[in-house]
């Protein structure tokens, strides 16, 4: 997709990869409707964008609230004139505990944000995207969406759901004007743990003692994602760890599972 003058909606835009996606898209000539739960984060984003604010609109929305999401497309079109792409980047992790110790409130919160939020946004914007000369849906999954990670089992389930939802959309929209990509971020330096309201370490590949690969900055991850969008890539892997673990899990899922379990054992107790 040629990005110049295209309008993209980006969720989770208040920081991390989402915030950097906004910056990279604006730099490449796109217009952006930035979506986040927190108004203060969106205000910070506006301050950081400087002169690029003329192509930026901000929208404080709870993506787990269907009514709020359903009213968002017309607000974006009112602010930007149209909408050509959607990037579902908002996501949270679960507390670092086993399923047996995870309460239902935490389970529902993770599923609501990661899966249902992505689904609601996709359902709300897809009718508009199908009317455009060219449209795009990008959903951010995770390495945990194809590789089991003890202590993040429900998070992984939510991201696996995003993976299969996106792959199903890709198949359904092959004969349309809408491109579809699923993103599998590797270890990335973001504040997802704090933003999720979770105490504990990051995902195991980003743990200092066990890290085998260099963590990407959020800017690097966002750049890889936008490059993938420009090339219409159905799958976008950010980081060597994501690419390597995807290959390893396909070749030998039992070995890969035991390896990640060993890495997580000291963190789970």
Mean pLDDT, the chain cut into blocks of 10 residues (269 residues total): 97 96 98 97 93 94 98 98 98 94 97 98 98 98 94 97 98 98 91 68 43 80 98 96 94 94 76
153 found inside a domain: yes
> By C-alpha distance, which of 54, 55, 40 is closest to 7?
55
Q: Which two tokens stand for residue 72?
A: 């968002």
Q: Which run of H or of E encompasses 252?
A: none
1 found inside a domain: no
pLDDT tens digits for 123-138?
999 999 999 999 999 9
The domain tally of the chain equals: 1
CATH number of the domain residue 160 falls in: 3.40.50.720
pLDDT score for 207? 41
207 found inside a domain: yes
Give the helix ranges, DSSP H, for the chain.
16-27, 39-49, 66-70, 72-80, 104-111, 117-130, 153-172, 192-195, 218-230, 240-251, 253-268
141 found inside a domain: yes
248 found inside a domain: yes
Sequence-distant (6+) residues with CB within 8 A of 79 are 33, 57, 59
pLDDT score for 265? 76
174 found inside a domain: yes
49 found inside a domain: yes
* DSSP characters over 113-176: IIIIHHHHHHHHHHHHHHTSSSEEEEEE--GGGTS--TT-HHHHHHHHHHHHHHHHHHHHTTTS
pLDDT score for 193? 67
155 catalytically annotated: yes
> By C-alpha distance, which of 241, 249, 235, 253 is closest to 203?
241
2 found inside a domain: no
- Catalytic pick from 155, 170, 249, 255? 155
Domain range for 23 is 7-268
Instruction: Name the pTM for this structure.
Output: 0.91
Q: Which two tokens stand for residue 90?
A: 């908002």
Q: Which two tokens stand for residue 157?
A: 């389930």
- C-alpha pair distances (Å), 10 with each of 215, 222, 233: 23, 12, 18
């Amino acid at each position: 997709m040629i990005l110049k003058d295209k309008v993209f909606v980006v969720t989770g835009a208040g920081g991390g990869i989402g915030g950097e996606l906004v910056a990279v898209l604006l730099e490449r000539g796109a217009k952006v409707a930035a979506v986040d739960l927190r108004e203060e984060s969106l205000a910070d984003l506006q301050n950081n964008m400087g002169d690029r604010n003329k192509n930026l609109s901000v929208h404080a929305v709870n993506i787990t609230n269907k009514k709020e999401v359903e009213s968002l497309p017309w607000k974006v079109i009112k602010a930007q004139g149209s909408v050509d792409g959607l990037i579902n980047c908002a996501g949270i992790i679960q507390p670092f505990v086993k399923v047996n110790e995870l309460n239902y409130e935490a389970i529902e919160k993770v599923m609501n944000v990661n899966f249902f939020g992505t689904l609601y946004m996709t359902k709300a914007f897809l009718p508009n995207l199908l009317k455009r000369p060219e449209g795009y849906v990008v959903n951010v999954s995770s390495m945990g969406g194809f590789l089991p990670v003890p202590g993040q089992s429900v998070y992984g389930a939510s991201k696996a759901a995003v993976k299969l939802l996106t792959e199903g959309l890709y198949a359904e929209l092959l004969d349309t004007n809408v491109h579809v990509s699923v993103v599998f971020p590797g270890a990335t330096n973001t504040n997802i743990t704090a933003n999720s309201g979770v105490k504990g370490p990051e995902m195991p590949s980003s743990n200092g003692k066990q890290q085998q690969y260099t963590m990407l900055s959020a800017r690097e991850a966002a750049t890889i994602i936008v490059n993938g969008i420009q090339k219409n890539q159905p799958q976008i892997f950010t980081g060597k760890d994501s690419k390597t673990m995807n290959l390893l899990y396909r070749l030998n899922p039992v070995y890969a599972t035991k390896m990640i379990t060993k890495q997580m054992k000291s963190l789970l107790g």
